Chain A
Amino acid sequence: MLFPSMLRTSGDWFADFEQLYDRMDELLGGRSGVSSIRAVGRAGAFPALNVGNSPDAVEIYAFAPGIDPKSIDVSVDKGLLAISGERQVQDGQGSSGKSGEERTAYANERFSGRFHRVVALSEDADPARVEATYRNGVLKIVVPKRESSKPRQIQISSGS
């Protein structure tokens, strides 16, 4: 599973503080260590991204609910994978709301508008064979690794 391994502690509310601390750290620019010049870190951006690595591929999950898959644009250029598109949030007009009627909004938290996010791919990723699928509001992008970069066993020949 991609998630539990990334959770720090098993469930006390200290984890919340830790997350808050991380966020503050990020906002204040005090992040220790060295990150990529094109680091993806932009908390709160839409869509949220999770990236995982397997021996065969890099898997990118974009949490982008309520979007027509045809309107999502995924492109790779010089090792940079870009996800862009537009999300039109229906303002509750749907089911039984009569059009033109006055409505009161109590919460407006969902993202609406154009989005654009970029992920830097590692050197061993093969951009020619990128696959993207959209299911239950999650866009999954699989970038296979080049054959040459996959781990392999080296045969040792016995010199006689």
Chain B
Amino acid sequence: MQPQSNSTAMQTQQPQNAQNANSRTAPALLPPVDIYEDSGGITLCADLPGVTREDLAIGVDGRNLTIEAPLKLGETNSLTPVYAEVRANHFRRSFELSGDLDTGKIDAGLRDGVLTLRIPKLEQAKPRRIDVRVE
């Protein structure tokens, strides 16, 4: 039996908050994410199509984690838009991390436009089994 942590480890911030910091730019695309937690930490997967490893910026400021990246297609210059469902050219999304996560050991990988982040828990925050003494 694994002890289950009930605290919401991550809370999605409203995009407005992220925009305050950088309000002069055009509205950003909010990448869809999957977030999972196990006893060792949190795994976050985000869809970032058209983003290269060099352009991707993942920043941790205090307890704030921000994912930011431009979307580049390398389209022909003479292209006239006919129809568009994607109407902005950069991604941005922020998350508030809880204190039990080790922000110094975040591991990130990007493949085929999918970002996978692994945020481990601090050692002291990992679940422990408490032995019950028999008296």
Contact = CB atoms under 8 A, between A and B. Distances in A.
Contacts of B26: 4, 7, 10-11, 15
A137 B112 contact: yes
Interface residues of A, dominant DSSP: loop
A112 to B, nearest CB: 9
Interface in B75-123: 75-76, 78-89, 107, 109, 111-114, 116, 118, 120
A111 B113 contact: no
A110 B10 contact: no
A45 B47 CA distance: 14
Interface of B: 2, 4-5, 8-10, 12, 16, 19, 23-27, 32-41, 43-45, 47-52, 71, 73, 75-76, 78-89, 107, 109, 111-114, 116, 118, 120
Given A92-B36, A102-B2, 13 more contacts: A2-B75, A5-B81, A16-B27, A51-B82, A53-B82, A64-B49, A94-B43, A107-B12, A107-B33, A107-B35, A108-B34, A137-B50, A138-B50
